[in-house]
Every structure is written in structure tokens, then in C-alpha cells.
Amino acid sequence: MKSFLIANPKGGSGKSTLATNLAGYFARCGHQVMLGDTDRQQSAREWLQLRADALPPIRNWDIEKELPARPPKGTTHVVLDSAAGLHGKALERMLKQVSRVIVPVLPSLFDILATRHFLETLLAEKAVRKAHTFVAVCGMRVDARTRAAGELERFLGAYELPVLAYLRDTQLYVQLVANGMTLFDLTPARAEKDIEQWQPILDWVNE
């Protein structure tokens, strides 16, 4: 089973956008996918309730009384949307359970400062140092014409981590979330520009 953690301790960094669309890609490929939250809000479960039955299925945690939550039987790919403020022992435990980590970051000073500390924490973790877990970064809601985009690129260039993509700032993601959909549920013509931006992410998760 392949498992991917989408993590950044700062709220509003684009974790859910990245997680839902990655799960949507795996579902479109025909994999048995679970999208789960690691926090109490369980927003992934709420998003999945909006998803039409006609779309490629994405499942959530199996939850039974007095038993720990677990992926449904037969699951081949797990995408975990982490809680804001993930750190310490909770982060350490999570890193031991996943195959790879993607850190989304917005092009703003506050997001860059929060992400700097988180990346340094990640790189100090034993699971990452031993290469049992691989870490990559993805820029979210990036307008390449702005000074902020340049600052983000310079910031990420200071780390020896793959920067998979800079995803554009578009209302398409907002519209998709509101309907329980992902880019990979759209016709190729409608999603072509954004899926092209996603291609390096897809190549990385499939390595």
C-alpha cells in the first residue's frame, strides 16, 4: 500500500486542495483509494459526502466502535490530509507510517516563515534522514507575475528538496471542492492547463 501525507502546520496552506486532487488522480487511474483526515474536523469525510456516485470512488477511514480507524480492506493508495499544527510525537508517528510527504506552501511571508520551521523539523526527523520517507514541496496559488512568487522560489531554492510544481491561483479548485470533484473528473479540454502543471507531481508519486 502506498501512502502520502500532505502536511504543513499552517492552516490555509492548500493541504486539502492538494490531497483531494491527488486522491482523485489515483481514483481515475482505477486504484482503490482512501482519502483521510488526521484531525478531528474530518473535512475529507464531508467532502466525500458531496462526491457523486458516478465519479471514480474514493473511500474514507473504516470506523468501528471501540476500534482504531483504519483504511478499508483492499486499499492500495492512501492520501492523508494533516491537521494544522502537526508537530512533535504526532508528526514522528505519522512519518513512520507513510511512503512520501508533500508540503504545500503559499507565496506569502507568513506561510514561508511557518514552512521554514516545518521543513527544518522534517529534515531532522529520523524517518526522513534514513530515506524511509521522501519529502517534496509544492507551491500553491502562485501567480508567476508577482514579486511574492519570486520570493517563494528563492526560499524553496535554499533546500535540497524537490519542488514539484507551482500551481496557479484559480477559482477552478474552489468550484471543484464545492461539488466533491477534482481536476481529474473533468474533461481533458477543461482541465488541460492545470493537469499540465500537475504532471511533475504525478510523475513523482508514481516513481
What pLDDT sits at residue 90? Answer: 79
Would you say domain 2-205 falls under CATH 3.40.50.300? yes
- What was the pLDDT predicted at 172? 95
Q: Whose CA is closest to 72, among 25, 103, 36, 101?
A: 36
Q: What is the pLDDT of residue 193?
A: 94
CA separation, residue 100 to residues 15, 113, 127 (Å): 14, 23, 11
Please answer whether residues 169 and 39 qualify as being in contact, where contact means their C-beta atoms are separated by less than 8 angstroms.
Answer: no
Distance of CA 174 to the CA centre of its chain: 15
| CB hemisphere CA count around 98 (13 angstroms) | 26
pLDDT at 174: 93
Give the start-to-end residue ranges of the domains of the chain. 2-205
User: What is this structure's pTM?
Assistant: 0.92
Give the number of other Cβ atoms within 10 Å of residue 92's Cβ: 13
Find residue 80's DSSP bridge partners.
Answer: 5, 36
> What is the C-alpha to C-alpha distance for residues 198 and 195, in angstroms, rounded to an integer?
5
Residues of the chain with confidence (pLDDT) below 70? 39-42, 64-68, 131-132
Q: What is the pLDDT of residues 49-104, one digit of tens each?
A: 999 999 999 999 877 666 667 888 999 999 998 877 777 777 888 888 888 999 99
